[in-house]
Amino acid sequence: MMDRLAYLWPEIALFIAACVVMVVGISPSVATRKFAAVVAGLGVVAAGILAWTTTPSGNAVTASSGQVLLPGLALYAKVGIAIVALLLLLLKPGTVDRAEEAAIALGVQKFDALRTNRAEFFSFFLFSVMGLMLVAGADDLIWLFLALELTSLPTYIMVAISGGAGREPAARAQEASVKYFFLGALGAAVFLYGFAMLYGATGSTNLNAIHLSLTTGGVSGLALAGLLMSVLGICFKIAAVPMHFYTPDVYQGASPSVAGFLAFVPKTAGFLSLLLLASAVGWTWAPGENGLTVSGGGTSLPEPLRILFWVIAALTMTIGNVLALQQKSVRRILAYSSIAHSGYMLVGLIAGPGDGSFTKNGVAAVLFYLFCYGVMNVGTFAVLSGLERKTRDGQMSEIDSIEDIRGLCATHPRLGWPMAICSLSLLGFPPLLGFWAKLPLFTSAISAGEIILVIVLGLNSAIAAFYYLRLFGAVFLEKPEAGAGEVTASPFVSRRVAAMVSAALVVALVVVVGQLTDASRKAAAPKAEPAASATIPASMNH
């Protein structure tokens, strides 16, 4: 038990912070209520430091304390999650209770704890991040299921209460939340059924024991069916075909600060889960002629599972990019972009770990891409949340259309330039961070012999250039439309700070890209002692 506790100190820090936030956020004092965001930030920082200093990694991980399939995964993922979560937290002040706080300040209404949502909103933020960290440290299907649901359930409520003060934005957010909730319940039911099949096929819910069963006894029909069902259900988390339909409506209905959160946290939880499930089946690297691999496209994943990943990857990146071309809403463009990026990362998952070197390691490429995508994505949504215009009823509303961001580099350079830089980075424009994130996806897939999928990936990258350059051109080359309502900066400075920090990281992290890729390679490295030979404690064979 004490061995397992070593993985949980970051989550304990987040839980304590969430409890404090729930108390602080309902204080009658406005100064104390505002301190809720500071407490949340301190909790995330503490979680990141504890993850760095206490999380076991590599050969320090044993089968009794965690999963030994990717023993460096928890350390890398939790530290990266804390960094991106801190950036996302800068977007959150002012997302809820803005109208109520203004009315209280004017003396129009008295403070009522039942009418305010600040405590719930920031605590839900922390609970969702805690669930994501629990996913990173999961070694059991039951643990994984509960962690995935802890990641997702708070986001349904965050979407519902993030609609702003106006009647129309609030109704749109509530409608988006209902769609998100019911489709999320469907996705959870599907992958839970898949987990149940895996348990029935292997006799255990422990990932180490499942790996031992599948590698020694083979993948039975029931186990294969469980894997396929699990993948389809988790597709909801990563917004991949065929579970992608909710994404544009939810991103447009929610506040941009919450939409940015959805683009990283559930997606990261889904990909970490897929990596754990795929590693339980196992990859091998079988060199063939000209250095390419033979059989199964360079992976030992069961052929039906490889084909499913292949089809989902191709359809997801294609549908995401093609439909993004038709959008006029920036949030919907970024929603379809999020779908497409899931397709890109699935290419790395199909390629597998290769021979261990970073350029041939699809697993390391996925982990590196997740971190880079989180940093880049925060910048774009920070810009959207940092701008607003006055509506007909006198309320301030966050912007959404491309017309709203025209000429931002001239009118609001502290927001325009981050949008320009992050858009180019999401495109993969060299030498920005996005280029170095996308490159190993190509090289690992080529090394794995997935040439057709590489061609599909290249064509989709070219399609994506149209709408990313459209965003870049709108803020950098175009001028605001005459007669259009004035777009003003949000009074919440932290949102502009998040945009500028994100853009700065997109440029600055290129200097240390070697260290980052080396960290992701270590996170994707298998344990020196093969998992198949690891002793699984009897207590873990459920």
What 3-state DSSP class applies to 382?
helix
- Tell me which residue of 376, 347, 342 sits closest to 247, measured CA to CA: 342
Per-residue model confidence (pLDDT) at position 535 = 46
| Exposure string for 237-252, b = 16+ CB within 10 A, e = fewer | bbbbbebbebbbbbbb
Amino acid at 40: A
pLDDT of residue 50: 95
Confirm if 278 and 231 have CB atoms less than 8 A apart. no
List the structure tokens of 57.
């990694």
Dump pLDDT digits (tens) for 330-368.
999 999 999 999 999 999 999 988 877 888 889 999 999
What is residue 203's predicted lDDT score, i.e. its pLDDT? 93
Nearest 5°: phi and psi at 488? Answer: -115, 160
Q: How many CB atoms lie within 10 A of CB 538?
A: 6
203 alpha carbon, distance to own chain's centre: 31
Give the other-Cβ count within 10 Å of 206's Cβ. Answer: 25
Rounded CA-CA distance 85/23 in Å is 21
Q: Quick one: pLDDT at residue 494?
A: 93
Terminal Cα distance for the chain, rounded: 16
pLDDT of residue 526: 79
Global pTM exceeds 0.85 = yes
Contact 444, 525 (CB under 8 A): no
What are the two backbone dihedrals, phi and then psi, of residue 55, each rounded to the nearest 5 degrees? Answer: -75, 120
State residue 285's pLDDT score: 44
Per DSSP, the residues of 351-370 read H-STTSSGGG-HHHHHHHHH
Residue 298: CB partners within 8 Å, gap ≥ 6? Answer: 285, 286, 292, 351, 352, 354, 447, 448, 449, 450
Query: Residue 488's pLDDT is what?
Result: 86
Nearest to 154 by CA among 187, 119, 186: 119
pLDDT score of 498: 95
pLDDT tens-place values along the chain, 542 residues long: 566 777 899 999 999 999 999 999 888 888 888 899 999 999 999 999 999 999 888 777 777 777 888 999 999 999 999 999 999 999 999 888 887 878 888 888 888 877 888 899 999 999 999 999 999 999 999 999 999 999 999 999 999 998 765 555 678 888 999 999 999 999 999 999 999 999 999 999 999 999 999 888 888 999 999 999 999 999 999 999 988 999 999 999 999 999 999 999 999 999 999 999 999 988 754 443 333 333 333 446 888 899 999 999 999 999 999 999 999 999 999 999 999 999 999 999 999 888 778 888 899 999 999 999 999 999 999 999 999 887 666 666 788 889 889 999 999 999 999 999 999 999 999 999 999 999 999 999 998 889 999 999 999 999 999 999 999 999 998 887 765 567 888 889 999 999 999 999 999 999 999 999 999 999 988 775 544 444 444 444 44
